[in-house]
Structure 1
Amino acid sequence: MNSKAAYIKQRLSLREPLREALDIVAELAEALSLEKNGDLDGALEIVSSRYPSCTDFERAFPSLCFSIATGVGKTRLMGACIAWLYLQKGIRNFFVLAPNLTIYEKLIEDFGNPNYSKYVFNGIAEFVYNRPVVITGDNYEQQGILFRDTEIRINIFNISKFNRDAAPASKGKEKGKPPRMKRLAEYLGHSYWSYLSGLNDLVILMDEAHRYHADASRNAINELKPVLGLELTATPTDEKGLPFRNIVYEYTLARALADGKYIKNPAIATRKNFQPKGLTDKEIEIIKLEDAVSLHWDTKTELEVYSRTNGVEKVKPFILVVCRDINHARETADYLRSASFFNGAFSDKVLQIDSSTRKDDEVERQFVELENADNDIEIVVHVNMLKEGWDVRNLYTIVPLRAANASILIEQTIGRGLRLPYNGERTGVDKIDKLTVVAHDNFDKVIAEAQNPESVLNKFTYIEIPEEELGAKTVAVTALPRVENEVQQETERIASIKDEGERRKATRSLDAKKAIINALPSFSAAEGVTSSADLLKPEVRQLVMQKVEHDLGQGQINLFAGEILVEAGIAYADTVASYRKNSIDIPRMDLVKGDVPVWFEDFDLDVTSGFDFRIMAEEIIRRNLKDNMVDTIGVQQGALGRETPKNQIVAEVLNYSTEVDYDSNADLLHKLARQALEKLESTLDDTTQLPTLVYQARKFIAANIGDQMKKHFRMGEPHYREPKVLPFVKIEQWDGSALALNGYKDYRDPVTPVNTIPKYVYRGFEKACHFEYKFDSKAEKELAFVLEHDIQVLKWLRPAPNQFRIYWQNNTKRYEPDFIVETAYSIYMIETKAANELDSREVLEKTAAALRYCSYATGFTTANNGKPWKYLLIPHDQVATTSSFEYLAGRFEMKC
C-alpha cells in the first residue's frame, strides 16, 4: 500500500469507497508518466490493462472517471487526491471545475476556508503552514504572486464563466477582442490562459463531470493541456445518454443503497387508502403538506431522542416544498405561515427562497444556516432548488407540488436529501436513516419506476458492453480433469474400433478404470488412507476393490460385472499411478462457522425522553424504494387491537427487532413494557385513553424499547467448527463459455487489449490438472505462465467453483481460491487480487477463511507425513512472467 495514500486516508478519515478510489489514483499516477503532451495511447494501454472498463480517455490527455453516488463524498475525494498528488508527486497546480454557481461557491469554501466545517484538508499537517492558495473565476485577473516555488495553487472556476472567459466575444463592445482569459495580464507578462496552459504539472479535477462532455467545454479543457484529469460524477453519461468510456471506479447509488452505510434510505409516502378522485389540486396539496408535517414531527422526535440517548449533537430536520413557479411558492408560503395551517404553528418557521427573495440578506442567512440546530426554519419553499450542489444533511421530508414524472422524482428529487447527519453514516435507527418524499398523487408510478431494473436505484453499473460484443456468439465449454479427460479420449478411441470382440474387451478395461477412479476419494484415515500414496498399500488396494465390487452391484444389473472386476485388478496399479500423477491431494472438509452466541443484558428502561405522544387521527403509509419495506405513521384514531397494551408493545418489539427472541427474553420484555406503560400513563390526564395511545404509538414505543435493547445486546464471536478431514477429493471439472469463433488461445500467446483476456479459453498446459482454463485478469494469466515454467512447481490447479467447501460471510458465501500449487515441500492456496482491494473487508474475511482451511489441512497432512499447506495473497501488480515462484511465495505468504 502507498504510504502517502495510507497517511491521507487515516488523516481525512475517508470512507471505504473513497479509500478505494484514492488507491486507484495513487496506483495509476505512479504508473503514468504525467508528462505534458505525453504518449496518450501508451497511457491508455497502461490504464486499460489494469481497469478494462476504461477504453478511451475521451479527451486529449489522460483523464480518469470516478462514478460515485451523491452523498458519499466526492468533494472530500478531490481534496484527498490533491493532497496525495502534492505530497507524493510534488504537483502544485490544480484546476477545479464546478458545474454551477452553487457548487462553485461551495468549493471555494471547501478548499479555501480552514474555519469551514467541511474544509477538505483538515488533518493534513503539511497544509497548515503551507495553506493552498485558492484562485477563483472572480479574482484570477488580480493575482500577482503566482510564482512562489513552495505554494500549492488551486484554481476554481464555474464552467459557464470558464467557457465564457475562454471563448471569443461575439457582440457588443467586447466583440473582436481576445477572450478575457487570453488577454495580456501585466503582472504576468502574458495572458492567464497562457500561464495555465504552460504549466508542466497542471491537474484538472471536474466535479459533476457529465456537465463537461459537450464540445465547447471539452475543447476548452483540452486547450489547457493538463498532465492528468480526474472526473467525478454520480451519473457518468454524456449529453446523448451514452456511458463514459473512461470509468476506472464505480460506487453507484444502487451499490450505496445495497451497502446501507453512507446515504439515507429513500421512501415514498402517501396516505393510506388515499383517493384523489373528487379532490381539487389545491386540496391534494394541502393534504400532502399536512401529512409532511406529521412525518416531520415524527422524525424530529426521533432525532431528539437519538441525540439525548447517544450524547451527540442535536439535528433539526426540515421539509422542502417544491413549487411550480414563484407565484405558487408565494401562495404556498403564505398558507404555511397562516393560522389555517396547524393553528399558525409555522408562522415564523417558513422560508421562501427563489429568485424573488434570494437577494434578501436575512433570507440568505437563514438558508445558509439551515443545518444549524438553533435555526428556526422548519419548512423551505422553493421553485428550483433541485439541482446539483445543494449540500445539506438535515433534509428529511420532500413535498413536490409541481408536476414531475416518476423518474425525475427519483433521479433528481431524492438526490438532494440523501446525505446523512451523523458522520455521514447510517445510525441503524430507521427513521433517522430515512428520506421521505410525499407523493400522494404519484405514489404507484414512483414505486413502479423504482422497481424498474434501469432505475438509478437498481442500476449497479454504468459500464455497458459495446454493441459489437453483444453480437459475439459464445458456446458452453467444459474442462475435464486430466484423469477424466484420458477416460473420455479412451472412450472416443474405443468407439472407432471395428472388431466387436476387441471393442468389448477395451470397454471392460475402461469401465474398470472408471470404477477405480470413482472409488478412490471415498476413503478416510480411519481406513488407513491419509494420502493418495496409501492407495498402493495392499490392505488399501483390497478395500478399494471391495468398494468397486460393491458399486458394480448397485442399480441396474451389470452382466459384465465379473469381467470388469477382473480387469480392475489388472489395471489397479497403473490407474492409481495415473490418478496421482494428474491430481493434487486436496483434503476434503466442510469449513463452516458455528452459531453466533447472542444475549441481552438486563437493564431498566430510560423513559426520560421519547415517550411524549399525542393521540392522532389518521395514518400515513410509507414505502422504501429500494427494499419495499413499508411503515406507517399514525395520524388517526383507528380500531383498537384486542390485545392488552402491554402485549401489544411486546409484540411490536418482536416485530421491530429480529434479534429479540421471546422465549429467551420474556421477562425482560414484559418488564420494559410495564415501565413504558407507567411512563405513558403519567403523561395522560385521562388514563382511560392509555389503550388508544398505545395502539397508535405502539411502533414508536417498540422502536424506542428496541433501540435501548440494542445497546444491551451482546454478541460472541463465532468460530469455525473443527471439521472432519478426509485425505483427498476428486478434482472437479469446471464449466464456462468461449467465443464460438476463435475462442481458444495458447496460454503463452500475448493478448491485447488485456481487457479481452477473460473472453478466451487457454490451452497448452503440461503441469496443470486440466488441459484448459479461463482467466479473469492479466495477473492470473501471467501467474499461470510462471507456474508452468518454474522448476519448483510440480503440479498446479485452477479450482472449479465447487472444488472447496470453505464458507465465509456468516456461511452465506463459498470461497473460491484462484490457484492450488504443489511443490516438493509444500502445497499452496493462492489468491491474486487488485492491489487496491487488499485491505477490503471482503478480502480480509476470505483470507481468514483460507488461512483456517490451510491450518486444518496442515494439521492433518503433517500428522501423516504429508506436505504443509500455505496461503499466498498476491497483489495483481506484483505478478509478471519473469517472476519466480520462490520469490512470490517468500514475499506474499500470509501467516495465521
Structure 2
Amino acid sequence: MSRLAISFDSDLLEQIASDFDLRAPNKEALRQLIFTLDGDYDPSVMQVLNLATGVGKTYLMAAFIEYLRRQGVGNVVIVTPGKTVQAKTLQNFTPGSPRYIAGSVVPPEVVTPQDYSAWIARQNGAEMLSIGREKPVLAFIFNIQQLIAPKSEDGETQGSGAEAQRRKPRRFDENAGVLFDYLKGLDDLVVIADESHLYGASAVAFSAALKELDPAATIGLTASVDATDHVIYTYPLYRAIADRFVKAPVLAFRKAGYDATPASEEQQLRDALALRAIKQAHYDDYAQANNRPSLNAVAFVVCSDVDHATQVAELLRTPEFLGKEDAVLQVDTKHDDEVTQRRLNELDAPHSSVLAVVSVNKLKEGWDVKNVAVVVTLRAMASEVLTQQTMGRGLRLPFGRYTGVGQIDQLDIIAHQSFTELLAAENVLQQFGLEDTTTADPAAVQCAIRDAGQPEPPQPSVGMTTTSPDASEAGSARPTDQTPGVVPVENPGEGDSLPGLGVRSLDSDLEDEATDPVQLVTIERNPVFAEVEYWFPVTRVSVQQPPIDLSDIHDDQIRAAAQRVTHTGDVLLRKEIVAALGKRLRVEDRESAEVESIPLETSDVDLALNKLVVGMGMVPKTDATIRYVARYLVPTFMKHVTFTEWTVKSLASAENELRTLVHGYIVETLRSTREVPSIHPKREPGNGYTLPLGEQVHDQIQDRSQFVRGRVYGGWSKSLFAEESFDSYTGEYLLARLLNTSPHIVWWHRLHPQDQAFVYYTSKDRYFPDFVALDDQGVYWIIEGKDERGRDNEKVQAKRKAAEALVRRLVADDDFADQNWGYLIAYEADTQRADSWDDLKAYSAPVTNEV
C-alpha cells in the first residue's frame, strides 16, 4: 500500500479553514488529520475523527477534500450509511443546492451510481478545466450497499435493489470501463467513511471492499467510536454543548411520569406538541426581530417499529392533534418514496408544512436538519433515549448560532423514564465523552474544566423593572413600570457573550474540594438583573382572630371550597443535562412548560370524590353518612365548581379541596386580621456580600438528603442573586426552585434579615417574609414559605392577615398606587405538590390588589 503524497502546509490550512468558515474543533480536526497523513501512518488503518453530533462534520469533509485538491489528489470516495445521508451529501457538494457547502473556487465534480457523466467525461477526453488550469476533484458519493461486492456479478444493474446497485460499479461501461477497477488502479485514492461506526472493523463486507480498493488513506467520521477504532482526534459532546456549537439537551417529564398504556403514550405526544408550540412562538419572535425567514419548530417522534410509526402518524393527523395531513411526515422503510425524501429535504425551508416527523430508526444517523426542537421516544429503553445519535437529530442550532433564548437554544427530550433512570444508563458517559474521567489525572481534570467552561444561562425573554430613585428619597419615589420584553438581536459584536450568573470560585466544580486553595467567594448581583430595583412596603399591622367551627358545614362553605378547585394545565418539569470533565453527569432545573392534562368523564370524577370522603379515617362508615356524601355533599360541591370539563389534574385539586373541607375545619382555622396604615418604602435589593473564609458556592441539589441549612447554592437564573442560601429544604429551597422554573415569574429575590424588609403584625411584633417575586403580569408578590404546622399556628395566621391587609392598603398609598402587589403563604405540602407558580397560587388562596 502506498501513502498519500501530501504535505502539511499551515498557511494553506489557515486559508481553507477561513474559506469554509470552519468552527474551531473542525479546524483542529483538519489540522490533526493532515498532520497524520503527512506522517508514517498505516494506509490499511482507518484514521477516525470523533466529533460530537451537530458540530459540522460535513464542513470538515468539504474542507479536507479542498486541501487534497490543492495538494494534487484528484479522486475521493465518500461512503454514506444509506440513501437519506447519501442524498444529503450529494446536495452538500452540488453548487446551487440550498445545502451546498461553499468554500472552494473549484467545486468537486460528483459521481453517483445514478450519474457517471463526470467520470465518463474525464475518461474520454481532455480534463475539463473549471477555472484557469485547476482540476476539480472527482467525488464518488456511494452508500455502503452500493460499494460492497454483490453475491453474483451476473444480473440486472438497473433498479433500486441492493444487488443491482452493487453490480453496476463492477460492470463494464462501454463509455468508460469498469468504475471499481478505475478506483482500484488509483495510487492516491482517499476513502471518507461518513458515520464510520456503522461499518467499521466488524462490518466484514465493507472491510473486504476497502481491502479490494486498496486506498492510500481511509478517513472515518463519527460521533460514536468503537473501542477498536484508531482515533486521531476527539471533540466530545459535552465540549460542543459548553462551546455552544449545539443545543443544550433538556429532559422534559411529568412529575408522576408516564406508564406503558396507550393513553399515556398519547399524553407524551400531546406534551411534545405543547412544547413544540412553545418553541414555535420563540422561533417566530426571533425570526421577526432579526429579519430571518420563518422556520417551523418540528417534533421528532421515534417509534418502535413501522406499524407503530404508522399508528402514531395517523393519530397526529387527527383534529385532536395537528389536524392536517401534510403536517406529519412518516419516514421509514415503507415510507421512503421520492415525495417523502423531497419533503424531508425541505423540512427547514420556509414553505415546509411539516410540524412532526415520525420515524423508527431510519433517520438515526447523518440527518442534519436544523429545526427539530423536541424529541419524543415512545416505548424506548433508557439506553436508546439518551444517545448522541438519537439526540443528534435535534442538536443543531436552528439559526446557526446561539440566540440567548433558552427555548431556541435547548433541545427538549421527552421519555417515559425518570431522569434519574436516564442518567444511570450504561452508555451515558460514553455519549457525552466522559467515559475515561474516572482515571483522569486531577491536575489534568482541573485544566480541562477550566478550558471547557460552563454554558451560561439564557437571558429572560420578558422585561424587568428599571432602576429606582436614590434610597434617600424613600417615601416619595417608587419603582417604574416594567419594560416590555426584548428579543436578543443576532450577530453581537466581537467578543460579546451572554451574561453569567454571578461570581463563584473556579475550583468549586472539582469533586475533591479538599485539595483546593482556600479563597474568599463574593456573592454579587446576577448580571441579568443588575439594574433591577424595587421598593418594599415596610409596615405595622394589628391582629384579630375569630375562630371558625367545623361542625356546621353550610352551603356557602361547600361553595367556597368548590370554587377553589383549579383547572390549570399540567406542567412538564425540565432539567438541563450538565456534563463536565471530572464530574458526574448532573441536571439543573430549567423553566417548566405548561401542557394539557388528561380528560376525565364527570361520572368518574363523582365516583372518585365519593370514595375519597367515605374512605377518610374521620368519616363514620354508616349508611346515613354514605347517603349524605352521595346525595348532597359531593353533588353540591360539584355543582359549584367553576368548570365542566374535568381532567386528572383538576380532579386532584377537587380531592384536595374536599378533603380540606371535611378534615380541615375540625381544627381551628384561619382568622382575619386588621391592618394599621403605616407604610414606609424601602429600596431593595441590598449589596452583595462575601462568604466566610473557606465557604464555597455549591451546585443545586435534587433531594432533601443533600440539603445543608445556610449553605449557598448557585445557578438560580431568575434570582436577583444567582447564589442563595436557605433555612429549610421544603419550606424555602423547593419554593425557590419553583419560582426559578416557572414560566410566569420574571425574577425573584430571597429576603434575609439584613435586608430589613419586615412587616409588623402587632404594635410590637414583626416578621421577615422569605421572598419577593415579580410575575409577567407586573404583580409584585410577597411570599412566605411555611411548614404544615403553620396552618393552625396563631402567630403564622396573624402574620398572614397582616400581610394580606398590607396588600389591600397599598392601593391607597401614594408610593405604591400605580403598582399591583400580592401576598402568598406557601405551605410545604402545597409547594411540594405544585408544578408551577399557577399551581401554587391555586393551592394557596393568595390575595392581590388587582382590580
TM-score using structure 1 length: 0.49
- Relative distance call for 1:73 and 1:462 in structure 2 (3 A) is farther
Following superposition, the deviation at residue 691 of structure 1 comes to 10
Residue 231 of structure 2: aligned partner: 247
Residue 851 of structure 1: aligned partner: none
Q: Which amino acid aligns with 2:231?
A: I
Alpha-carbon displacement from aligned partner over 1:97-130 (angstroms, at most 9, x marks no partner): 112111111111111x21123312x133x32xxx
The counterpart of 1:200, out of the listed 187, 193, 197, is: 187
Residue 143 of structure 2: aligned partner: 158
Residues 260-299 of structure 1: pairs in structure 2 closer than 5 A: 260-274=243-257, 276=259, 281-299=261-279
Q: Does 1:132 align with 2:120?
A: no
Alpha-carbon displacement from aligned partner over 1:544-599 (angstroms, at most 9, x marks no partner): xxxxxxxxxxxxxxxxxxxxxxxxxxxxxxxxxxxxxxxxxxxxxx9999999979
The counterpart of 1:420, out of the listed 397, 405, 429, is: 397
Distance 1:634 1:323 in 2: 24
- Relative distance call for 1:359 and 1:65 in structure 2 (3 A) is closer
Following superposition, the deviation at residue 601 of structure 1 comes to 8.6
Q: Does 1:655 align with 2:719?
A: yes
Following superposition, the deviation at residue 300 of structure 1 comes to 1.6
Whether the 8 Å contact between 1:206 and 1:232 is mirrored in structure 2 is yes
Following superposition, the deviation at residue 68 of structure 1 comes to 0.9
- Relative distance call for 1:600 and 1:81 in structure 2 (3 A) is same
Distance 2:429 2:373 in 1: 25
Residue 173 of structure 2: aligned partner: 185
- Relative distance call for 1:183 and 1:65 in structure 2 (3 A) is same
Distance 1:80 1:295 in 2: 37
Residue 625 of structure 1: aligned partner: 577
Whether the 8 Å contact between 2:382 and 2:425 is mirrored in structure 1 is no
Secondary structure of the 1:146 match is: helix
Q: Does 1:634 align with 2:569?
A: no
Following superposition, the deviation at residue 365 of structure 1 comes to 3.7
Distance 1:331 1:143 in 2: 45
Whether the 8 Å contact between 2:376 and 2:413 is mirrored in structure 1 is yes
Residue 336 of structure 2: aligned partner: 358
Residue 76 of structure 1: aligned partner: 59
Residue 306 of structure 2: aligned partner: 326
Q: Does 1:459 align with 2:444?
A: no
Residues 45-84 of structure 1: pairs in structure 2 closer than 5 A: 57=42, 60=44, 63-84=46-67
Secondary structure of the 2:431 match is: coil
Distance 1:304 1:372 in 2: 14
Q: Which amino acid aligns with 1:303?
A: Y
Q: Which amino acid aligns with 1:459?
A: L
- Relative distance call for 1:379 and 1:388 in structure 2 (3 A) is same
Following superposition, the deviation at residue 616 of structure 1 comes to 4.4
Distance 2:313 2:567 in 1: 27
Whether the 8 Å contact between 1:323 and 1:400 is mirrored in structure 2 is yes
Secondary structure of the 1:5 match is: helix
Alpha-carbon displacement from aligned partner over 1:240-295 (angstroms, at most 9, x marks no partner): xx331x221111224323x341122222222123363xxx6111111111111221
The counterpart of 1:100, out of the listed 54, 76, 82, is: 82
Alpha-carbon displacement from aligned partner over 1:52-89 (angstroms, at most 9, x marks no partner): xxxxx4x53x64221111111111111000111212x1
Secondary structure of the 1:437 match is: strand
Secondary structure of the 2:329 match is: strand
Alpha-carbon displacement from aligned partner over 1:732-784 (angstroms, at most 9, x marks no partner): xxxxxxxxxxxxxxxxxxxxxxxxxxxxxxxxxxxxxxxxxxxxxxxxxxxxx
- Relative distance call for 1:179 and 1:439 in structure 2 (3 A) is closer
Whether the 8 Å contact between 1:410 and 1:446 is mirrored in structure 2 is no
Distance 2:263 2:371 in 1: 28
Whether the 8 Å contact between 1:333 and 1:381 is mirrored in structure 2 is yes
Whether the 8 Å contact between 1:236 and 1:462 is mirrored in structure 2 is no
Following superposition, the deviation at residue 15 of structure 1 comes to 0.5
Distance 1:457 1:157 in 2: 30
Following superposition, the deviation at residue 358 of structure 1 comes to 3.1
Q: Does 1:368 align with 2:345?
A: yes
Whether the 8 Å contact between 2:716 and 2:722 is mirrored in structure 1 is no
Residues 691-706 of structure 1: pairs in structure 2 closer than 5 A: none
Distance 2:364 2:821 in 1: 47
Distance 2:179 2:433 in 1: 45
Distance 2:157 2:295 in 1: 52
Residue 677 of structure 1: aligned partner: 778
Residue 631 of structure 2: aligned partner: none
Whether the 8 Å contact between 2:157 and 2:168 is mirrored in structure 1 is no
Alpha-carbon displacement from aligned partner over 1:834-888 (angstroms, at most 9, x marks no partner): xxxxxxxxxxxxxxxxxxxxxxxxxxxxxxxxxxxxxxxxxxxxxxxxxxxxxxx
- Relative distance call for 1:100 and 1:453 in structure 2 (3 A) is closer
Following superposition, the deviation at residue 392 of structure 1 comes to 1.1
Residue 449 of structure 1: aligned partner: 425
Alpha-carbon displacement from aligned partner over 1:784-811 (angstroms, at most 9, x marks no partner): xxxxxxxxxxxxxxxxxxxxxxxxxxxx
Q: Does 1:86 align with 2:69?
A: yes
Q: Does 1:406 align with 2:414?
A: no
Distance 1:95 1:677 in 2: 61
In our comparison, the structure showing a higher alpha carbon Rg is 1
- Relative distance call for 1:172 and 1:101 in structure 2 (3 A) is closer
- Relative distance call for 1:349 and 1:623 in structure 2 (3 A) is same
- Relative distance call for 1:365 and 1:99 in structure 2 (3 A) is closer
Distance 1:275 1:172 in 2: 51
Following superposition, the deviation at residue 134 of structure 1 comes to 0.6
Secondary structure of the 1:389 match is: coil
Following superposition, the deviation at residue 139 of structure 1 comes to 2.8
Distance 1:656 1:106 in 2: 47
Residue 225 of structure 1: aligned partner: 214
Secondary structure of the 2:111 match is: strand
- Relative distance call for 1:618 and 1:454 in structure 2 (3 A) is closer
List gaps (5 residues or longer) in structure 1: 33-42, 45-56, 466-589, 605-613, 641-646, 680-686, 700-896
Residue 871 of structure 1: aligned partner: none
Secondary structure of the 1:431 match is: helix
- Relative distance call for 1:169 and 1:690 in structure 2 (3 A) is farther
Secondary structure of the 2:287 match is: helix
Distance 2:439 2:171 in 1: 43
List gaps (5 residues or longer) in structure 2: 1-8, 128-134, 441-517, 534-565, 579-585, 598-648, 657-681, 686-714, 724-746, 756-770, 781-818, 825-833, 839-851
Secondary structure of the 1:372 match is: coil
Secondary structure of the 1:432 match is: helix
RMSD of aligned alpha carbons: 4.9
- Relative distance call for 1:601 and 1:282 in structure 2 (3 A) is closer
Q: Which amino acid aligns with 1:73?
A: G
- Relative distance call for 1:407 and 1:600 in structure 2 (3 A) is closer
Residue 434 of structure 1: aligned partner: 410
Whether the 8 Å contact between 2:53 and 2:389 is mirrored in structure 1 is no
- Relative distance call for 1:461 and 1:19 in structure 2 (3 A) is farther
Question: Percent identity, aligned pairs only?
Answer: 27
Residues 10-25 of structure 1: pairs in structure 2 closer than 5 A: 10-25=18-33
Following superposition, the deviation at residue 173 of structure 1 comes to 11
- Which segment is superposed worse, 97-106 or 319-328? 319-328
Q: Which amino acid aligns with 2:286?
A: Y
Secondary structure of the 2:149 match is: helix
Distance 1:164 1:408 in 2: 34
Q: Which amino acid aligns with 2:416?
A: H
Whether the 8 Å contact between 2:111 and 2:140 is mirrored in structure 1 is yes
Whether the 8 Å contact between 2:20 and 2:103 is mirrored in structure 1 is yes
Secondary structure of the 1:216 match is: helix
Q: Does 1:300 align with 2:287?
A: no
- Relative distance call for 1:691 and 1:227 in structure 2 (3 A) is farther
Secondary structure of the 1:332 match is: helix
Distance 1:653 1:141 in 2: 58
Distance 1:260 1:656 in 2: 26
